Structure 1
Amino acid sequence: MAIYDTARGLLADALFSQVAIHAEYGGVVPELASRDHIRKTLPLVDKVLAEAELLKTDIDGIAYTAGPGLVGALMVGATLGRSMARGLGVPSLGIHHMEGHLLAPMLADEPPQWPFVALLVSGGHTQLVRVDGLGRYKLLGESLDDAAGEAFDKTAKMLELGYPGGPAVAALAEQGNPARFDFPRPMVKRPGLDFSFSGLKTHTRTTIAAEGKKPQGLTDIDKADIARAFESAVVDTLVIKCRRALKQEGLRTLVMAGGVSANKRLRAALTEKLGPEGMGVYYPAPSLCTDNGAMIAYAGAQRMVAGERDTDDTDVRARWPMTELAPPSQAA
């Protein structure tokens, strides 16, 4: 939950993580997620209002995540957001989850200037998008199967690292030997900007099985070395495709957002590879890499200022291609 002011910026931002709830099951349980949204959302509203020293009646509009995502959780936020807006007599607006991530770096003190290429690496999404302005997006490439975040989570499960997987794999990779295993960089030798991480996931599983057959079994050292090889393969693949996208579009600015954008090795590799070629890389603050209210509040404010509003038939969407988004003047 967050409160954004178009004149003063981000006034308040609060997050309740459900990681502890889902960790026992090794992934998100939709029913538990929805029920916990019901319990926690209104207290978070009160928290950000108190932090910003505002009343509900000071709010001029309410934005909420309308998709893509788990329908049950989306319905909780949409129902609450639209109900509050109706009660307060202010407009509401459903926001695309990935547009929120894409715009999160705009909350920085020195935001990027469009046009730029965006790498969106969040949960089930890995996409390269050309951004020419608010709602002016051109999909350049995306994952054809497992997204990078999904591959991290599944690798963590194979290595018995628990949930969430991405941070656990990255932490273990810090202890790994980068020279021991050489994992494939999927689809980098093919033309185009699409991704595929299912083959890398299979190679990881095969390596784990082979090492586990040794007399001593799969050791902690084996796990660290495999984690390092896996992470390096993902990072190299993303860097190669980002550089290719920038050159294809004739642009020199890359924006990276989404949960995987917090990965330190990925950030360092992009800066190291793109910097010498005069290409700039922008990231959101670490707290804004994972799902958060600030990015939705910002995106909602930009579209509302341009006149966009919910209609009576607005609904949440489990699947919502970014290619269906349009500039506010066309969507209003």
Structure 2
Amino acid sequence: MFTPVETTIGAFLLHQATSILLHNNGTILGASEYMRRVVSKPTFGVAAFFAGMIASFPLLRLTLPELLTRYPPSPSTSGSAVMTVAMGLLVGWGTKAAHGCTSGHMLCGLSRLSGRSALAVAIFFPVALTTHHLVHPSLMTSVCTSDVPCYTATYPTQAATTSLIALAAVTIASGRLIPRIVARLTKNTKNAGDKSDDTSLARHATELFAGLEFGLGLHISQMSNPAKVAAFLSFPRLEVWDPSMMLVIAFGILPSLLENLSKGFSKSPRFTTKYELGNKTFADTDWKMVLGAAAFGVGWGMSGTCPGPAVLRSIAQPAWGLLWMGGFWLGGMFLSEEPEGGMCG
């Protein structure tokens, strides 16, 4: 069902996660590239980001347990296990060839007015929608099972809304303030606030809070719920269509766009010397990127899962994660080149 309050607040947390990482550390929140760096280039910063995502579970369990994502059962047959690996492989190959997924291209790329990201989104979104319609022709999902149209809005209680706003406000304020405090405290002792220091504790604090806000945003907006994503991809059959993801665009991308337009990228980020945004443009698009975006769209449309939500599900369901992540890393191994100029997705 349509959840305007939760999705709006979750989307704004996603905006905050991408914002602090970009304007503090100069890097793009590319979930698929972070996942690859766990294997190819593990660093303390990567560990801090995923520690933040993991922390979203106990924090929500203590405050608003009803907002923790409820996943379908883990694969119980050999066929479903093979299909899970195959979905991970498609997403792994596709996101590496396309240099990004929903986080790097949609949340971060569109808000920077990147032509390559706009093209990638213009490919993988309709491919995902078409795939969902072909593979799941009934278009019924577990979030839209009643006789009430799925676009009907549902609202949390007043107490839950108050708790949710308080949780988001405290988390956002902490993500904005604590890295700056860390920079000031460490500047005179270890020079960690120096922009030339790539191991700055302030940078790691930023990554920790970016991961926490990203994890909370995915849970609260329910972008981490495969059924919720599938219900959005059921458009234009309105009785089973959940429009919640439209609010992710409105409150996850537009605030970042306005912030990026106002700040620009001429000055250096707060804790480093330059932005790592990549140097390729729309004119550099090749067939591999187009095929990669399409392959990702197929994998996303079939499963309702992209890299960021896959991390959360792997934490909740390690057996599923072993299969999907194994396929994801295997898919990426078929391409030798790294994404250009920092994390694109």
TM-score of the superposed pair, with normalisation by structure 1: 0.29
Higher strand share: 1
Specify which structure has the bigger relative contact order, considering alpha-carbon pairs within 8 angstroms and separated by 6 or more residues: 2
More helix by share: 2
Larger Rg: 1
